[in-house]
Amino acid sequence: MEQMHDVKPGQSIELLKELHILTRDGKMNQDSRRKLKQVYHLVQFIEPLLVELLRHQPAIDLVDHGAGKSYLGFLLYDLFFKARADGSHIYGIETRTELVDKSRQLAGSLGFERMSFLNLSVAQSSTSDQLPARIDVVTALHACNTATDDAIKFAVQKQARCIILVPCCQAEVASVLKKNKSTQRARDPLTELWRHPLHTREFGSQVTNVLRCLQLEAHGYQVSVTELVGWEHSMKNELIIATFKDLPRERPAARLNEVLRSLGLEEMQARFFTPLLVATDSAVPENIDQAVR
């Protein structure tokens, strides 16, 4: 059928039906085609990272935070891990019990034995004995607001080799910028960048992702930023990929703290924690994590 041309060779048709990407008679509507294209596009970025990891180790443990219906996890398993009997495992972390139950049922019916779905928050997953002490790959697709930052903290704690993020709806930085508009700092001409509410939101979103990139670099990661899909498919299309290379940490840590100070965001230093904090006017938070080594 013509609509099947969108489906990759070897893809489980039953999986696509269960994920409601295909109808029961094998058809696909425009919305489903868009969703499938987005996930396929993300898989294209992730697959080379997985291949490279498997050149140096026998298996991969991957955690998908804010998994939702686990589109990404299921398609990664179906397209990449299913044919490899290497002990790799995918863990989907989700707080909504009904979605966890459905994913467990689907994995069971498809025989995807190396998939687990845990009804946990990111904070709970960091200490859960249901997960390995170390995780190789961490993904967070459209994890809203601070969930992306929680996923970064989880990845650093678990010494992840690769981190793949598609941030969404980040509002925390914007709220701090808004709160500080009327202070002495408002005399700085650069505050015009976020004086209007729309600009506050957009500038806050941009700054958030810049800080995340600096934070990852300050933990020794090599970071790249690109578009996931074209604007016609999604307005939330920034893709951040971090690969641990044990790079020098001093310069990005210093830059991160200087950006926080320059924009009046010192109170957010604990959110964008770094292993090396250079001297600033603000106090060093007590909960700064150890660097990934």
Residue 70 in tokens: 């686990």
Is 179 found in the same domain as 64? Answer: no
What is the overall mean pLDDT for the chain?
A: 86
Is 179 found in the same domain as 165? Answer: no
Q: What is the pLDDT of residues 121-156, one digit of tens each?
A: 988 999 999 999 999 999 998 777 678 899 999 999
> Which structural domain range is residue 191 located in?
171-221+249-277
Within-domain flag for 227: no
Question: pLDDT at position 2, please?
Answer: 41
Is 184 found in the same domain as 165? Answer: no
| 89-97 mean pLDDT | 96
CA end-to-end distance (rounded Å), the chain: 51
Q: Which residues contact 118 (CB under 8 A, 6 or more apart)?
A: 91, 92, 93, 94, 100, 125, 128, 130, 131
Within-domain flag for 241: no
Give the CB-side neighbour count of residue 277, counting CA atoms within 13 A.
20
- 228: alpha, beta or left? (left if phi > 0; alpha if psi -120 to 50): alpha
β-bridge partners, 197 = none
Is 155 found in the same domain as 49? Answer: yes
Number of domains comprising the chain: 2
Within-domain flag for 289: no
Q: Measured between alpha carbons, how far is 43 from 82 in angstroms, rounded to an integer?
A: 14
Q: What percent of the chain has pLDDT over 70?
A: 88
Q: What is the pLDDT of residues 215-259, one digit of tens each?
A: 999 999 999 999 886 544 455 678 999 999 999 999 999 999 999
Within-domain flag for 240: no
Q: How far is residue 101 from each of residues 55, 58, 72, 117, measured CA to CA in Å?
A: 34, 30, 17, 8
Is 66 found in the same domain as 40? Answer: yes
Q: What is the pLDDT of residues 10-41, one digit of tens each?
A: 889 999 999 888 888 878 878 778 878 888 88
Contact by Cβ (8 Å): 271, 287: no
Question: pLDDT at position 24, please?
Answer: 81
Contact by Cβ (8 Å): 270, 287: yes
Least confident of 42-46, 64-68, 150-154, 170-174: 170-174
Is 217 found in the same domain as 154? Answer: no
Q: What is the pLDDT of residues 156-214, one digit of tens each?
A: 999 999 999 998 777 889 999 988 877 746 578 888 899 899 999 999 999 999 999 99
Strands 238-244 and 221-227, bridge-based pairing? antiparallel
Contact by Cβ (8 Å): 244, 162: yes
Q: Where are the beta strands (DSSP E) in 124-172?
A: 137-144, 162-168
Higher-pLDDT residue of 286 and 201 is 201
Q: Measured between alpha carbons, how far is 6 from 230 in angstroms, rounded to an integer?
A: 17
Which of 99, 134, 169 is a domain's end point? Answer: 169
Quick one: pLDDT band at residue 6, thresholds 50, 70, 90? confident
Is 147 found in the same domain as 18? Answer: yes
Sign of CA dihedral 80, 81, 85, 87: positive
Contact by Cβ (8 Å): 62, 137: yes
Is 73 found in the same domain as 186? Answer: no
Looking at residue 291, the DSSP 8-state letter turns out to be P
Within-domain flag for 156: yes
Q: Measured between alpha carbons, how far is 117 from 107 in angstroms, rounded to an integer?
A: 9
Question: pLDDT at position 235, please?
Answer: 54
pTM above 0.85, yes or no: yes
Quick one: pLDDT band at residue 55, thresholds 50, 70, 90? very high
Q: With CA atoms as reference, report the closest residue to 120 among 171, 170, 169, 154.
A: 154
Question: pLDDT at position 46, please?
Answer: 95
Within-domain flag for 230: no
